Amino acid sequence: MIRTLFRFISPHKVALSWATLLGVLTVASNIGLLATSGFLIASAALRPSTVLLLWVPIVGVRFFGIARAVFRYGERYFSHDLTFRILANIRAWFYDRLEPLAPARLFNLQSGDVLSSVVSDVDTLQDFYLRSIAPTLIAFLVMAIVYWLLSLFDYRLGLLQVLILLVSGIGIPALTYGLGNRLGSEIVTTRSGFSAELVDSLQGMSDILAFSQEQKVIESLSNRQHMLVKKQMKMAGIGGLTGGLMTFFNHFSMWILLLVAIPLVQVGKINGVDLTVIAQTALASFEAIIPLPLAFQYLGKSFASMRHLMTIVDAKPSVSSGEVKMEGKMLSALVIDHLSFRYHSGDPEVLKDLSFTVAPGAHIAIVGPSGAGKSSMVQILSKFFDYESGTVRLGENELRKIQMESVHEHIAVAPQQSHLFNTSVKENLQLANPFASIDMIQTACAVALADTFVEKLPEKYDTFVGEQGYKLSGGERQRLAIARAIIADAPISIFDEPTSGLDAMTEEQLLLSVHQTLEGKSMLWITHRLTGLEVMDEIIVMNHGMIEERGTHQELLQKNGLYRKMWDTQQLMIGATEMAV
Amino acid sequence: MISKRIFAQIQEVRHLLALTVGLGLAGGLVAILEANFLSRIVNRAFLEDSALSSLTGLFVWLLIAIALRAIVGWFSEVLALRVALKVKESLRDQLIRKLFQLGPMYLRGERTGEVTSTVMEGIESLEVYLARYIPQIALSALIPLMILVFVIPNDWVTAIIFVVTWPLIPYFMMLIGRQAEKKSKKQFQTLSLLSAHFLDVLQGLSTLKLFNRSRYQLQVIQRISNQYRKTTMSTLRVAFISALALELLTTLSTAIVAVFIGLRLIAGTLHFQDAFFVLLLAPEFYLPIRLLGTQFHAGMNGVMAADRIFELLDEPTFQEGEVSSVKFTLNEDWDHLYFEHVVHQYPGTGTMALDDLNLTIHRGEKVALVGPTGAGKSTIMNLLLGFMAPAHGTIRVDDQSLSPALAAAWRKQITYLPQHPHLFKGTIADNLRMANPECTDKQMMEAAKNAGADEFIREMSAGYETVIGENGLGLSGGQIQRIALARAFLKNSPLIMLDEPTANLDPESEMWIEHALNQLFADKTVLVIAHRLGTISRMDRILVLNEGKVIDQGPHSELVARKGLYHHMLTAYVGERGNYRDQNPVSIHLPS
């Protein structure tokens, strides 16, 4: 894991060296400034015959004064640049590892929360260098400089100061960790519990108000927050202690160095002039140590984030990529033969011994109550999951052995949950074919009954749809997903519950329109609503992962089976449309 | 830079805040004492050749000063954080109360996420602002003043340098800070844009894969990251210059002080001890204002967060007063509900949700609302629930106007079953009891039995004490509906409002719901947004709504005979064999 963390940094060795070097020089310049200014006034106090004798410290003071600012500028510049480069590396690495796993291995991650936490983990790691590595490197390099500087007077002073720096640089963060680690994780849990209760209460506010429970909920939230605040207060005490100890050791090092140095002045081992230099050096050198408690805290956070990311990408891809490449877009039969499937071994089978054929050019509907296995079948036909027994053949070839890219060229899918990206309508549709002209796009939208509402958008096809297309209604998003599948212009098209957000009349129109457009191509229309299915060549009724019955609309109505039952229930419904508000 | 509203919040803790500043000042005083002892020690050891033994007293004093400095620093940090925590807690409480006053209509759509992040992270980002930035504003003026008081008698020349250079720092900070602020804001935005883009790509990964575009996206991520890096670095290159100028000003001031002192030491117009004392204080003099500079950014973030928080707190509520203070007597034996000339429009939409609606419901009457999406059915429900107030017109319970203040009391009369009932994280018993906290276990189970929920609840691992996830995670749609129905039985109120589920439920749930509604509706006033013909047939009156108006009403048979919109809605579902199919259906486009 640590090796992976460093791998993000290692391509940028030059930038890394510059940033670290400049960081060291920034701290060193401050030591230089304070030490030379001390030396300057001490030498001046001896009243040399001419000012010229003070020329060196005067230049030194000015030099360090300017150098400090310039070095700081350079350090900030290089380290920010480096941070951005590292971030790009981490993103690319994570995406590269994640992409082969999608979507089969990522099903439990689909919830927005998990993915947002992934993004914030990546954001945490970008500062791994800036906040953890750099301060640690700088601290050690500055210690070396401090040792060298103090040894000019007496090596014991150097040793003593480095010892104090080490003890505070390691001891104080360790103490903070020991005192605050458990409390820290308690705070994290309490906070996320509070946040979850808040979200739950806001989402369920209608029910809370309707049952007059608002007082109770507000009180419960308030109590939970109070628990959190009490813990945070304790944590504040520990944080303050860290700062206080750091200040103490900072000045204590100066105190003890003087205590050692003054007898050395007495015996003539050190010049009295140098006492100011020693005191100032001791005071200034702590600048390198002060960021360390935070650096260690950050290190812990980075490791936690990295561990989280690793658990996600360490899974093995669930689909073997086939070798067979199918050139061109040939219209061929899709044959499903004795197909059985389960998501995990040990789980119940969601598809049981399923057999049917989509002949070239056939339009087939698959219906059934929710949980019948319709969507699982779409997952398999998208080559998102491997099947264990039975065969699925696309033309001559077994689906398992065909390259994923070829499968997607031959089978276009409008999935139930289609993602719209935060870009224009046009670019969202061009995802299916980057070279699609605006004419093609408009035609496809007309087929999907999406043209009317797109034309009403402020910038028509160039309108941005917002995050996950939130500027559009559910029904509008679905129609764009259908248009997208039509633009893909594949020999076989699959529409998975494409109309659940639409009213019955629009649904019927849509089905007819798509049905006419895809004349001569194969189509699978998956739905739980039995509207307009008269035009389909065959209707397959699924229940509990099996085919319950099949036939045309008329045949099925006469069979008096599940289809008839669903049909009758539907007759008793009126105007089921998407939610108004 | 200072939010006045925040200061109003601080009123309650202002003595604590004053104490924080006081401790900061004490820290400054101790620093001056330390410099004094230190300069005396070095002076005597260096120029008077004093032995260590004769310096013991001073060394002890110095150590005491150092220890005091550390302790004062510790206390002031803890105190500052306590102030911040108290203000944060109070603000967060206010926000939560406010949200409950604003009600569910305010939170509809995608707003929950934004509001949650304001309540959680927004308030959190006030911490630095309150605990560091605000005390630092005071300290950055007071500590330099205090140091000046000690420096002037020792060395007035340096004092003049201090006095001349100090105002330059805030001046430069203002001058370049504004520009830098814009730039750093922009940098922050680009960073969050980058994160948002990455999240977008991750969420759409399976869609990308379906269209063979997922590998290509890797290059896009790299390209965009690099582009952002380049543009951001070019702005940062300029933005960092401000920091350079500030740094330069303080380090050069120290350098100038040192050189001036040195020259006067040679001239013999200054004593070494005073000189060293002043030199030690030079960094202390500039430190507070430099700290203010480094916290400027965090301070700005805090102000921005505060703006959003107060915007939310200032959001006009239609419910006046505190939720808790709503104590209104309502005549529980009401006879009629009236909607009189009710007009309502949702902000940001061009169409009327309700357009001059007049409606009377008698006690004991059962009324169905039907109509296409956007006809105004949900608006009627939300108004009657007191989740919002009509833009014009009145809603009355007998002769009592349903004022916002009455809403909480009025809701005790209502059982509301939304289309998607919310189950809370917790046990099933908790979720049932919220309908009637005083009910006995027996009553609770009786209600569950009536709703057809008892059986499947008992089959769960811990029965009624089974913990369910947020939003009923782990339960089927039909089971959630049945638990919501059990709640309705528990509440047992005179008015029942129901938004019928449209989802395809499993046959068993359908049967139970049908059965339970029959029982629930007995002897009650019922208002239902109906989708099932079975439900509609049990109603005394059907209101057909379109575009915010009642366009037709009457019993089912009458409406069918009239062949209007109601008739047409029925035929939409029905195939060739259907009972209601017209020979030449009129094609009406219902808004979706």
Residues A51, B379: C-beta atoms closer than 8 Å = no
Residues A408, B211: C-beta atoms closer than 8 Å = yes
CA distance B245 to B249: 6
Asked whether residue A101 is assigned to any structural domain, the reply reads no
Residue among B54, B432, B39, B336 at smallest CA distance from A275:
B39
Residue among B393, B356, B352 at smallest CA distance from B375:
B352
Q: Is the pLDDT of residue A51 over 50?
A: yes
Smallest CA–CA distance, residue B340 to chain A, in Å, is 23
Together in a domain, A458 and A342: yes
Structure tokens at B134: 């605000």
Query: Edge-to-edge strand order for the sheet containing B392-397?
Result: B354-362, B336-344, B392-397, B400-401
| Mean pLDDT in residue range A101-118 | 65
Q: Is the pLDDT of residue A74 over 80?
A: yes
Structure tokens at B544: 């057909």
Q: Is the pLDDT of residue A106 over 70?
A: no
Band of residue B584 on the pLDDT scale cut at 50, 70, 90: very low
A288 vs B505, more confident: A288
Asked whether residue A323 is assigned to any structural domain, the reply reads no
Smallest CA–CA distance, residue A195 to chain B, in Å, is 7
Structure tokens at A497: 């519950």
Asked whether residue A253 is assigned to any structural domain, the reply reads yes
Task: Output phi, psi for A236, to 5 deg.
Answer: -60, -40
A165 vs A88, more confident: A165
Residues in B touching A385 (Cβ below 8 Å): none
| Mean pLDDT in residue range A204-225 | 90
Q: Is the pLDDT of residue B323 over 60?
A: no
Q: Is the pLDDT of residue B405 over 80?
A: no
Residues in B touching A276 (Cβ below 8 Å): 42, 46, 276
Residue among A429, A424, A427, A428 at smallest CA distance from A443:
A429
Q: Where are the domains of chain B?
A: 4-313
CATH fold, domain B4-313, is ABC transporter transmembrane region fold (1.20.1560)
Mapped onto helix, strand or coil, the DSSP state of residue B314 is helix
Which ranges of B155-213 does DSSP label H, i.e. alpha helix?
Answer: 156-165, 168-203, 205-210
Chain B interface mutation, best of A49, A81, A84, highest count of B Cβ atoms under 10 Å: A84
Asked whether residue A576 is assigned to any structural domain, the reply reads yes
Residues in A touching B373 (Cβ below 8 Å): 503, 577-580
Structure tokens at A314: 């360490």
| Mean pLDDT in residue range B77-82 | 90
pLDDT of A518-544, one tens digit each? 888 999 998 877 778 888 889 998 887
CA distance B43 to A354: 96
Query: Which is it for strands B354-362 and B336-344: parallel, antiparallel or unpaired?
Result: antiparallel
Which ranges of B48-117 does DSSP label H, i.e. alpha helix?
Answer: 56-102, 111-117
Together in a domain, A53 and A185: yes
Together in a domain, A307 and A389: no
Chain B interface mutation, best of A277, A511, A581, highest count of B Cβ atoms under 10 Å: A581
CA distance A53 to B262: 11
Q: Is the pLDDT of residue B62 over 90?
A: yes
B 110-149 → A contacts, CB under 8 A: 110, 112, 115-116, 119-120
CA distance A428 to A418: 11
SS (H, E, C) A383-436: CCCCCCEEEEEECCEEHHHECHHHHHHHEEEECCCCCCCCCEHHHHHHCCCCCC
Last residue of a domain, one of A313, A343, A375: A313
Together in a domain, A287 and A414: no
Q: Is the pLDDT of residue A580 over 50?
A: no
Q: Rounded to whole angstroms, what are the CA distances from B340 to B355, B376, B385, B403, B554? A: 11, 15, 16, 14, 19
| Mean pLDDT in residue range A256-265 | 92
Together in a domain, A483 and A537: yes
Q: Is the pLDDT of residue B112 over 80?
A: no
| Predicted local confidence at residue A114, as pLDDT | 66
Asked whether residue A197 is assigned to any structural domain, the reply reads yes
- Pairs across A and B, CB distance < 8 A: 458
Q: Is the pLDDT of residue A84 over 60?
A: yes
Q: Is the pLDDT of residue A451 over 80?
A: yes
Least confident of A162-176, A489-503, B281-295, B512-526: A489-503
Band of residue A143 on the pLDDT scale cut at 50, 70, 90: very high
- Nearest chain B alpha carbon to A53: B266
> Cβ(B492)–Cβ(B410) under 8 Å?
no
If one counts every other C-beta atom within 10 angstroms of the C-beta of residue B412, the result is 14
Which residues touch B505 (CB under 8 Å, ≥6 apart)?
A: B477, B478, B481, B513
Q: Is the pLDDT of residue A199 over 80?
A: yes
Residues in B touching A102 (Cβ below 8 Å): 205-206, 209, 214
Q: Is the pLDDT of residue B262 over 50?
A: yes
CA distance B310 to A423: 32
Together in a domain, A298 and A219: yes
Determine contact: B581 vs chain A, CB below 8 A. no
Residues A203, B422: C-beta atoms closer than 8 Å = yes
Q: Is the pLDDT of residue B553 over 70?
A: yes
In total, chain A counts a number of residues equal to 581
Band of residue B576 on the pLDDT scale cut at 50, 70, 90: very low
> Cβ(B96)–Cβ(A222) under 8 Å?
yes
Band of residue B575 on the pLDDT scale cut at 50, 70, 90: very low
Beta-bridge mates of residue B258: none
| Predicted local confidence at residue A571, as pLDDT | 67
Band of residue B577 on the pLDDT scale cut at 50, 70, 90: very low
> Cβ(B357)–Cβ(B368) under 8 Å?
no
Together in a domain, A359 and A220: no
pLDDT of A380-390, one tens digit each? 888 888 887 88
Structure tokens at A514: 């798509």
Burial class, B327, CB count within 10 angstroms (exposed 0-12 / middle 13-18 / buried 19+): exposed
Band of residue B346 on the pLDDT scale cut at 50, 70, 90: confident
Task: Output phi, psi for A359, to 5 deg.
Answer: -65, 155
| Predicted local confidence at residue B176, as pLDDT | 66
Which residues touch B61 (CB under 8 Å, ≥6 apart)?
A: B37
Q: What share of chain B is helix, strand, coil (3-state, %, to 5)?
A: 65, 10, 25
Determine contact: A208 vs chain B, CB below 8 A. yes
Q: Is the pLDDT of residue A286 over 90?
A: yes
Q: Rounded to whole angstroms, what are the CA distances from B99 to A358, B6, B96, B319? A: 54, 19, 5, 11
Determine contact: B217 vs chain A, CB below 8 A. yes
Nearest to A581 among B55, B198, B378 (CB): B378
Asked whether residue A327 is assigned to any structural domain, the reply reads no
Last residue of a domain, one of A260, A278, A313: A313
Determine contact: A384 vs chain B, CB below 8 A. yes
Identify which of A216-220, B307-311, B390-394 has the greatest average pLDDT.
A216-220
Together in a domain, A291 and A339: no
Query: Mean pLDDT across chain A, nearest whole number?
Result: 85
- Nearest chain A alpha carbon to B263: A44
The single-letter DSSP state of residue A129 is I
CATH number at residue A352: 3.40.50.300
Asked whether residue A329 is assigned to any structural domain, the reply reads no
CA A148 centroid distance within chain? 46
Band of residue A159 on the pLDDT scale cut at 50, 70, 90: very high
> Cβ(A431)–Cβ(B211) under 8 Å?
yes
Band of residue B180 on the pLDDT scale cut at 50, 70, 90: low
Residues in A touching B258 (Cβ below 8 Å): 36-37, 40-41, 61
CATH number at residue A284: 1.20.1560.10
Band of residue B42 on the pLDDT scale cut at 50, 70, 90: very high
Task: Output phi, psi for B126, to 5 deg.
Answer: -75, -15
CA distance B580 to B583: 10
Q: Is the pLDDT of residue A296 over 60?
A: yes
Least confident of A431-435, A465-469, B580-584: B580-584
Residues B504, A528: C-beta atoms closer than 8 Å = yes
Together in a domain, A288 and A426: no
Least confident of A14-18, A47-51, A210-214, A275-279: A47-51
Residues B217, A122: C-beta atoms closer than 8 Å = no
pTM of the shown model: 0.79
| Predicted local confidence at residue B110, as pLDDT | 55
> Cβ(B316)–Cβ(B388) under 8 Å?
no
Residues in B touching A197 (Cβ below 8 Å): 425
∠ CA(B509), CA(B513), CA(B518), 5° rounding?
155
Q: What percent of chain A has pLDDT above 90?
A: 25
Residues in B touching A191 (Cβ below 8 Å): 120
For chain B, the maximum distance between any two Cα atoms, rounded to a whole number of angstroms, is 120
CA distance B458 to B444: 13
pLDDT of B3-38, one tens digit each? 677 777 777 788 888 899 999 999 999 999 999 999
Residues B203, A258: C-beta atoms closer than 8 Å = no
Residues in B touching A248 (Cβ below 8 Å): 66-67, 69-70
Q: Is the pLDDT of residue A417 over 90?
A: no
CA distance A39 to B144: 25
Last residue of a domain, one of A252, A283, A313: A313
Which residues touch A523 (CB under 8 Å, ≥6 apart)?
A: A362, A363, A364, A492, A493, A494, A495, A514, A515
Residues in B touching A487 (Cβ below 8 Å): none
| Mean pLDDT in residue range B260-287 | 89
Together in a domain, A179 and A260: yes
Asked whether residue A325 is assigned to any structural domain, the reply reads no
> Cβ(B436)–Cβ(B471) under 8 Å?
no
pLDDT of B415-472, one tens digit each? 998 888 888 888 899 999 988 888 899 999 999 998 888 888 888 878 888 888 665 6
Domain membership of residue A260 as a residue range: 2-96+107-313
- Nearest chain A alpha carbon to B219: A92
Residues A217, B100: C-beta atoms closer than 8 Å = yes
∠ CA(A125), CA(A128), CA(A133), 5° rounding?
165
Band of residue A12 on the pLDDT scale cut at 50, 70, 90: confident
Determine contact: A85 vs chain B, CB below 8 A. yes
> Cβ(B425)–Cβ(A200) under 8 Å?
yes
pLDDT of A368-382, one tens digit each? 776 678 888 888 888
Domain count, chain A: 2
Smallest CA–CA distance, residue B145 to chain A, in Å, is 23
Residues A65, B248: C-beta atoms closer than 8 Å = yes
What is the DSSP annotation of B409-442? HHHTTEEEE-SSPPPPSEEHHHHHHTT-TT--HH
| Predicted local confidence at residue A244, as pLDDT | 93
- Nearest chain A alpha carbon to B76: A240
| Predicted local confidence at residue A501, as pLDDT | 63
Determine contact: B178 vs chain A, CB below 8 A. no
Burial class, B148, CB count within 10 angstroms (exposed 0-12 / middle 13-18 / buried 19+): middle
CA distance B86 to A559: 71
CA distance A29 to A75: 13
Together in a domain, A400 and A544: yes
Residue type, A250: N
ipTM over 0.85: no
Band of residue B128 on the pLDDT scale cut at 50, 70, 90: confident
- Nearest chain A alpha carbon to B37: A255
CA A510 centroid distance within chain? 37
Structure tokens at A145: 């400089």
SS (H, E, C) B462-506: CHHHCEECHHHCCCCHHHHHHHHHHHHHHHCCCEEEEECCCCCCC
Nearest to A54 among B82, B262, B373 (CB): B262
Determine contact: B511 vs chain A, CB below 8 A. no
Nearest to B221 among A69, A70, A91 (CB): A91
CA distance B50 to B42: 10
